A = this chain, B = another copy of it.
Amino acid sequence: MNSTTMKNLFDLPNPRPNHEQFDDLIPDHGVKIERIISTGQTTPKGEWYDQDHDEWVILIQGQATLEYEKGHTVSLQSGDHILIPAHQKHRVAHTSTDPPCIWLAVHGALTSK
């Protein structure tokens, strides 16, 4: 059996952390795949993620809202996925607590430059 290398996305820490938790699902060799657990946390108002790399993110569980600097917002439900190109400024305006948000994010050079 090689199942020691298998993990489950829904195995959450117990008790749940009070902070937002980031777990690398594979080591970062240029492409990072991470799980993010959010339980109500948001990006402070007026602060923006401004990333040097592209990010593709899918919300597997929960509900969340992304806000873009240009003014529009996007509400995400379970299964919704979206590509956030590098330097597209955004913030997390809402994350559900119950159920907690489980995000899967892929970071890297995902678009043509």
Report which A residues bind B (CB closer than 8 A): 1-3, 5-11, 25-27, 29-31, 33, 56, 58, 60, 68, 72, 74, 76-83, 104, 106, 108-112
**Chain B: CB-nearest residue to A28:** B110
Count copies of this chain in the complex. Answer: 2
B106 A3 Cβ-Cβ under 8 A: no
A79 B31 Cβ-Cβ under 8 A: no
With A60-B60, A80-B7 known as contacts, the answer to whether A2 contacts B110 (CB < 8 A) is no
A25 B111 Cβ-Cβ under 8 A: no
A81 B31 Cβ-Cβ under 8 A: no
**Which B residues are CB-close (under 8 A) to A108?**
31, 108
